[in-house]
Amino acid sequence: MRHEWLEYLQRLDWNTPMILALASGAVGSVITLAWISARDAKERKRQRRETALNLALSLESYARTCRTMMHKAAWATAESTSPISRDASKGVAVPAFAYPDKVQWHVLSRKVISELREYPATVHAAREYVEAFREFGEPIDLCGQVEYECAKAAMAALALARTTRRRHGGATWKPGAKDSAMERELSDFIASAEEKRKASLEHRMESTVGRRADAQPFKQALSA
């Protein structure tokens, strides 16, 4: 059967109008499909870039909100010695975060979507952790914890926004005058806070060891 088809094709006159029309139609179809494919790819790229930009802008805006809350927490800490200290700390909390509505997630890769959607869960965990200080701790402890968690959340938001812009060809973030040194300020604050936490922990451990050492002779005297 295959041999018969080859003989038939060899006998065809490729210069006939019908053959030329069929060939022309096939070539036209291929060109049309290629053009549609290129157009769709360009449109998907545009959608990815716009979606990534909207997400990055949302993250950067949240970072600014966190920094504002840090200032509010610092003010409440300064008021901690006054009778209204608890009232001042009532509005101090890690801000909630959510991406804009109607985000076209389907234009992004699964890996990118996974990384972006993990961030709100991280913020939620930080908010719950801070609320434990509100219930059981002093206002000054609450404010300090809010400052620290806000700084970490803001740094993570800026890093994720930068990565999102870079992956999808978005323009580099150009912060205004107020935000020009924000990332450096956040980094310095986190480093300082962690150093203070480390020193405080070491001091507590030394105090605990000292109390145990002081109590040992007393126990020996009782048992004698």
Q: List the chain domain ranges.
A: 18-209
Q: Residue 137: is its pLDDT beyond 50?
A: yes
pLDDT value of residue 35: 46
Least confident of 14-23, 122-131, 179-188, 196-205: 14-23
Positive or negative torsion for Cα 163, 112, 52, 128: negative
Query: CA dihedral defined by 26, 29, 31, 35, rounded to 10 degrees?
Result: -170
Task: Give the C-alpha separation, 163 to 82, whole Å.
Answer: 44
Instruction: Identify which of 11-15, 56-60, 131-135, 204-208 has the greatest average pLDDT.
Output: 56-60
Confidence of residue 222 (pLDDT cuts 50, 70, 90): very low
Average per-residue pLDDT for the chain: 76
Considering only CA atoms, which of 109, 110, 102 is closest in space to residue 168? Answer: 109
CA–CA distances in Å: residue 141 to residues 9, 86, 132: 88, 11, 11
Q: Residue 120: is its pLDDT beyond 60?
A: yes
- Stated pTM of the model: 0.71
Query: CA dihedral defined by 132, 134, 137, 141, rounded to 10 degrees?
Result: 110
Task: Spell out the residues 6+ positions from residue 161 whose beta carbon is closer than 8 angstroms to its own.
Answer: 55, 56, 57, 59, 60, 63, 173
Confidence of residue 177 (pLDDT cuts 50, 70, 90): low
Average pLDDT over residues 201-210: 61
Q: Residue 214: is its pLDDT beyond 60?
A: no
pLDDT value of residue 87: 67
Average pLDDT over residues 14-19: 57
Confidence of residue 3 (pLDDT cuts 50, 70, 90): low
